[in-house]
Amino acid sequence: MRLYRNVLGLAAALAATLSISGGLVTAAGSPASESLTKLKAGNARFVASPEDALPVDGAKRAALVNGQTPFASILSCADSRLPPEIVFHTGLGDLFVVRAAGNITDKAILASIEYSVEHLNVPLVVVMGHESCGAVAAAVDTPVGQSLGPNLDYLLAAIRPSVKATASRPAGERMRAAILANVEQTLNEMVTGSHLLREFAGKGKVQFVGAYYELASGQVHFSEPVIVAPAGEVHTRGGHN
């Protein structure tokens, strides 16, 4: 599976058309499509008017005591500069958010995403990387074999395949390429690491999308939807430019 640059050449844009025969097709008006439209609209509001108050009030808070119906799950980096609820201008109960440095995944994170899909009927899962990710930078800058302690070593080990895959990129492009590769890697690990997510994707109940957040502009760029077959194989149909 690969995340490709936008065919129009937008430097920060993600674009991927990933396909598997027998996989999930996203139709206009589907729950996943509607959720993605909401995210894009909310991010556009945040970019245009970041000072606007978030849609949060006491009545909504009280209503949520009885349950939650988020329209999307977001796995993002733990970086304090990109809280998804603000980035997408959403209110209480709208997003099921999971955060970890470097937006990596593990069993606890997979279980959280599985819960949102199986029990909360979330139709869209987004993995969002971001500009100037410190976790990816640490994986790029720390020599293999140098220990930063067992916990940081675990984190960097999860990111290093993406760093290795982008080692030949020019220095000026390396970080962004590694960040996008890390988003791709996490999406792959969700698909291959969870039978439940593969099953739900194969049945058309959930869609996966990659994303990249720009710190200065506040804009989020999305990949094309990732199409996943029940078996979890992922192939590309086309090159990149």
Predicted confidence (pLDDT) per residue in 171-199, tens digit? 889 999 999 999 999 999 998 999 999 99
Express each pLDDT in 210-227 by its tens digit: 999 999 999 999 998 887
Residue 235, pLDDT > 60, answer no
Alpha helix ranges (H) inside the chain: 31-48, 58-63, 84-87, 107-118, 134-141, 150-165, 171-193, 195-202
Query: pTM for the whole thing?
Result: 0.85
Tokens coding 19 = 């396909």
Q: What is the largest CA-CA distance in the chain?
A: 54
Q: Could you give the domains of the chain?
A: 4-49+69-234 (3.40.1050.10)
User: Cβ contacts of residue 65 below 8 Å, gap of 6+?
Assistant: none
DSSP 3-state percent helix, strand, coil across the chain (nearest 5): 40, 15, 45
Express each pLDDT in 67-115 by its tens digit: 999 999 999 999 999 999 999 999 999 999 999 999 999 999 999 999 9
Q: What is the pLDDT of residue 231?
A: 54
